[in-house]
Amino acid sequence: MKLTAVQHETCLVLIFVLQLWIGSSNGLLLPGGDYDFELRLEKSFITAAAGCAQIPCAFTIPVRVYPVQKIWFRGSPEFPLSPPMVEEQANLMWPLRSPEHECSIILWDFSGHERIEEYGLMLKWGTNETHIYDERITVSYSTAKLNISLNTEALVAGQQTYIYCRFPDLCLGSYPKVTWTGLGSKKHLDVGYPRKMNNYLIYSQQLLYTAAPRDHQAEITCEATFGKNLSANGTMTLTVHSHPQILNSSACSLQKVLLTCVCVSQGVPLPDIHWPLQSNADSNIVRTSDGHITVRSTYTMTVEDLTSISSPVCVSKNKLGQTKMTLPVNINKVKEAA
């Protein structure tokens, strides 16, 4: 059957419309189409808080391009962000305007470098179709550090004390996994307390801890792991005050008329050692210390008769208290030459 000119033209129009419909249903953007790509950013400049930045974002796209993949990039599309750095976050851009979809994210960064970066969003769909939004957002990063603190200036051995690891201005909804290392004594409680403030989360990890004298000047580390294996840590050196103790190695020895007494004591602050022996013009005291928790005092004096002096006593004292010990005397007999 031969078509008239009008019928032929009508068929061409129908074929063209059919091609448009097929192309749009397959997610292909045909030249000359009127497509609605819009990106709405709440801010164009954001200051990152303690290792992360919240970017509220909403976008619109033609229905025909569904589904799409959202790709955030640094600087230009040639530098897409790796998955550990980007975490999608709902309800940052609220309320949404119809027909918007949320593209809000949290950017994680614990590199500790102060710098300014520019980010953009690209969409990808179909076989190899893309759309790059013109809008950009600038993020200013500062050094991200965790803060470990005590509820007192120093711990006291044998007493329970709270140690806090604080994470200021964390991104909303970011609850880290916290681990403590370097603690030699038993920990009793490890509890985290989040508190929301101005769309950010103030997070504090609280540890109830009983220190021992050996923990003095030990380093403890609080490490927080966020989301996809990104972490930050803070370290502090403990100061543990302890009562003075006199070690059993303390003793005296007598050789002929020379009495030598050694008193070894531990404590923080370092103890002062006193010798309440009878005054003697020939006596001498030498004090040494490891600068940590141990002090050693050596007392020498001449005696004609051991019974003429009182029992050797060592007294160790610091601001937490004092202790004393009566030292044993070992008599060293000198062999006479044959």
Residues 215 and 298 in one domain: no
Residues 46 and 110 in one domain: yes
Say if 320 falls within a structural domain: yes
Q: Are 154 and 211 in contact (CB under 8 A)?
A: no
How far is it, in rounded angstroms, from Cα 51 to Cα 87? Answer: 13
Residues 259 and 298 in one domain: yes
Residues 59 and 125 in one domain: yes
Q: Between the CA of residue 260 and those of 250, 271, 282, 303, 319, what are the distances in Å? A: 11, 20, 12, 10, 28
Q: How confident is the model at residue 18 (pLDDT cuts 50, 70, 90)?
A: very low
CATH number at residue 291: 2.60.40.10
Q: Give the number of other CB atoms < 10 A from CB of residue 313.
A: 15
Average the pLDDT over 130-135 and give the result.
Answer: 94
Which residues, in sequence order, are bridge partners of residue 87? 106
Using a pLDDT cut of 70, give the percent of the chain over it: 74
Q: Looking at residue 185, what is its pLDDT?
A: 73
Say if 12 falls within a structural domain: no
Q: How confident is the model at residue 19 (pLDDT cuts 50, 70, 90)?
A: very low
Assign 7 to helix, strand or coil: helix
Say if 164 falls within a structural domain: yes
Residue 257: DSSP 8-state? T
How far is it, in rounded angstroms, from Cα 181 to Cα 219? Answer: 9
Q: Looking at residue 180, what is its pLDDT?
A: 87
pLDDT digits (tens, 9 = 90+) for 274-303: 998 755 556 788 888 887 889 999 999 888
Res. 237: pLDDT tops 60: yes
Residues 45 and 123 in one domain: yes
- Structural domain range at position 202: 147-238
Residues 45 and 135 in one domain: yes
Closest listed residue to residue 233, CA positions, set 108, 113, 146: 146
Q: What is the DSSP string of 39-74?
A: EEES-SEEE-BTTEEEE-EEEE--GGG-S-EEEEEE
196 vs 176, residue with greater confidence: 176
192 vs 105, residue with greater confidence: 105
Say if 8 falls within a structural domain: no
Residues 154 and 213 in one domain: yes
Of the three residues 141, 158, 179, the one that is the final residue of a domain is 141
Say if 287 falls within a structural domain: yes
How far is it, in rounded angstroms, from Cα 277 to Cα 306? Answer: 12
Q: Between the CA of residue 137 and those of 30, 71, 108, 124, 304, what are the distances in Å? A: 29, 14, 15, 20, 90
Q: Looking at residue 242, what is its pLDDT?
A: 94
Interacting residues of 198 by C-beta distance below 8 A, sequence separation 6+: none
Residues 56 and 85 in one domain: yes
Q: What is the dihedral of CA 179, 180, 182, 186, to 10 degrees?
A: -120
* Domains contained in the chain, number: 3
Q: Looking at residue 110, what is its pLDDT?
A: 66
Q: What is the dihedral of CA 111, 112, 114, 120, to 10 degrees?
A: 30
How far is it, in rounded angstroms, from Cα 317 to Cα 296? Answer: 13
Say if 40 falls within a structural domain: yes
Of the three residues 141, 169, 193, the one that is the final residue of a domain is 141
pLDDT digits (tens, 9 = 90+) for 49-103: 666 788 999 999 988 788 899 999 999 999 999 877 788 888 888 888 888 899 9
Q: Looking at residue 30, what is its pLDDT?
A: 44
Residues 202 and 130 in one domain: no
Q: Are 154 and 239 in contact (CB under 8 A)?
A: yes
Single pTM value for the model:
0.59
Interacting residues of 288 by C-beta distance below 8 A, sequence separation 6+: 295, 296, 297, 298
Residues 132 and 161 in one domain: no
pLDDT digits (tens, 9 = 90+) for 193-220: 666 666 556 677 888 888 888 889 888 8
Q: What is the DSSP string of 169-209?
A: EEETT---EEEEES--S-EEEEEEEEEEETTEEEEEEEEEE
Q: Looking at residue 166, what is its pLDDT?
A: 76
Res. 5: pLDDT tops 70: no
Say if 55 falls within a structural domain: yes
Average the pLDDT over 104-120 and give the result.
Answer: 84
Say if 128 falls within a structural domain: yes
Res. 335: pLDDT tops 60: no
Residues 136 and 181 in one domain: no
Using a pLDDT cut of 90, give the percent of the chain over it: 30
Of the three residues 84, 107, 141, the one that is the final residue of a domain is 141
192 vs 337, residue with greater confidence: 192
Q: Looking at residue 304, what is its pLDDT?
A: 75
Q: Looking at residue 91, what is its pLDDT?
A: 85
Closest listed residue to residue 265, CA positions, set 253, 284, 277, 248: 248
Residues 39 and 137 in one domain: yes
User: Which of 13-17, 23-27, 157-161, 306-310 is the most confident on average?
Assistant: 157-161
